[in-house]
């Protein structure tokens, strides 16, 4: 019996999947973690002032305020839903974070070898993450912004991974990430070692290592309001994943975001491009509220995905 699981994986634009007899090693983690990250095209290596940074470059947690929380929901075609939540608190120069991502692909129609419908499949992927960052900055200020002349931060995160096929546990695992982020003036830089250590153990007792990747980015950031970034990721020789995105804050209460995510190299990238856009609205209800929204075009399925998230920050 043959199922069209390849269609699900096309929604997860990976350069190469670490596979084993038990299944795939959490490709859902390569999707942007929350709605705001979707709108950037996941170009969040050098700067990402939201709790979602826990699931991408944990060094960027240093850009958050004393207390922050974020929830997100994303609707993708083919009955795919993606949920996320994360919270951060500050202690001295440290930021501590915890969160969860859940990706569900439900009611996927199976087909036999000649194309006749068979049973339907439901997949569930969950990551529970914990992270910490440490940052340092200059006492000297930029005149045009009042922000520190320079900042440097380091971060690490770990994720506990669970995969289910329907109600049956398919595998469990873990992964560790190490990140770096810096700014001098308006110039930003970032580096991420993703899946530095990681492994999945499947229900048939087979194992597969998570594929390590190095992601590097450069960007410009003006007064913590406007920014743009270009990042590159290489997981296999000859293949590079590019992400370009940023934000323009039009007023004190609204901003626009856009990004693109694509691959180049040999072997040729097939239908991996995503083009995204969105924005953010700031509103205060007791404490500041940030409402993010995004829409993306996914070339693999010639379709669109929608997402939104809410963030709360103390702004102190």
**Residue percentage of the chain with pLDDT more than 90:** 44
- pLDDT band of residue 227 (cuts 50, 70, 90) is very high
pLDDT tens column, 35-76: 888 899 999 999 998 899 999 999 999 988 788 999 998 887
pTM listed for this prediction: 0.84
Q: How confident is the model at residue 5 (pLDDT cuts 50, 70, 90)?
A: very low
DSSP code for 7: H
Residue with the larger pLDDT of the pair 311 and 106: 311
Supply 308's token pair: 């939104």
Statement: residue 11 has pLDDT above 50: no
Q: What is the pLDDT of residue 192?
A: 97
**In whole numbers, what is the pLDDT of the chain averaged over residues?**
83
pLDDT tens digits for range 163-221: 888 778 889 999 999 999 999 999 999 999 999 999 999 988 999 888 888 999 999 99
On the question of pLDDT at 21 being above 70, the answer is no
pLDDT at 49: 86
- The answer, yes or no, to whether residue 25 has pLDDT greater than 60, is no
d(CA 98, CA 53): 11
Containing 101, the helix (H) or strand (E) segment is strand 94-111
Whether the CB-CB separation of 133 and 94 falls below 8 Å is answered with yes
In the Cβ-directed half-sphere of 302, how many Cα atoms lie within 13 Å?
0
pLDDT digits (tens, 9 = 90+) for 125-156: 899 999 999 999 999 998 888 889 999 999 99
Which superfamily is assigned to 2-313 in CATH?
A: Outer membrane protein transport protein (OMPP1/FadL/TodX) (2.40.160.60)
The length of the chain is 316
DSSP per-residue string spanning 157-212:
EEEEEEEEETTEEEEEEEEEEEEEEEEETTEEEEEEEEEEEEEEEETTS-EEEPPP
Strand, coil or helix: 62: helix
């Amino acid at each position: 019996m043959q199922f069209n699981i390849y269609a699900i994986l096309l929604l997860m634009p990976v350069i190469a999947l670490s596979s084993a007899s038990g299944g795939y090693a959490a490709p859902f983690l390569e999707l942007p973690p929350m709605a705001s990250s979707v709108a950037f095209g996941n170009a969040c290596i050098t700067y990402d002032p939201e709790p979602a940074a826990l699931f991408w470059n944990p060094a960027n947690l240093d850009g958050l305020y004393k207390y922050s929380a974020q929830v997100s929901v994303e609707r993708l075609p083919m009955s795919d839903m993606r949920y996320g939540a994360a919270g951060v608190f500050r202690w001295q120069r440290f930021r501590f974070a915890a969160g969860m991502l859940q990706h569900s692909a439900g009611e996927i129609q199976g087909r036999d070898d000649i194309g006749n419908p068979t049973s339907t499949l439901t997949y569930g992927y969950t990551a529970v993450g914990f992270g910490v960052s440490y940052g340092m900055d200059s006492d000297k200020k930029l005149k045009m912004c009042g922000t520190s002349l320079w900042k440097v931060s380091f971060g690490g995160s770990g994720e506990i991974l669970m995969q289910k096929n329907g109600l049956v546990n398919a595998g469990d695992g873990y992964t560790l990430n190490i990140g770096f982020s810096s700014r001098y003036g308006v110039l930003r830089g970032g580096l991420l070692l993703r899946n530095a250590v990681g492994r999945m153990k499947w229900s048939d007792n087979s194992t597969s290592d998570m594929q390590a990747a190095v992601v590097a980015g450069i960007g410009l950031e003006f007064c913590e309001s406007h920014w743009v970034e270009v990042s590159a990721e290489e997981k296999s020789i000859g293949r590079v994943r590019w992400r370009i995105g940023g934000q323009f804050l039009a007023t004190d209460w609204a901003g626009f975001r856009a990004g693109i995510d694509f691959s180049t190299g040999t072997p040729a990238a097939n239908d991996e491009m995503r083009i995204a856009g969105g924005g953010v609205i700031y509103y205060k209800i007791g404490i500041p509220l940030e409402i993010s929204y995004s829409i993306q075009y996914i070339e693999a399925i010639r379709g669109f995905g929608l997402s939104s998230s809410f963030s709360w920050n103390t702004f102190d």
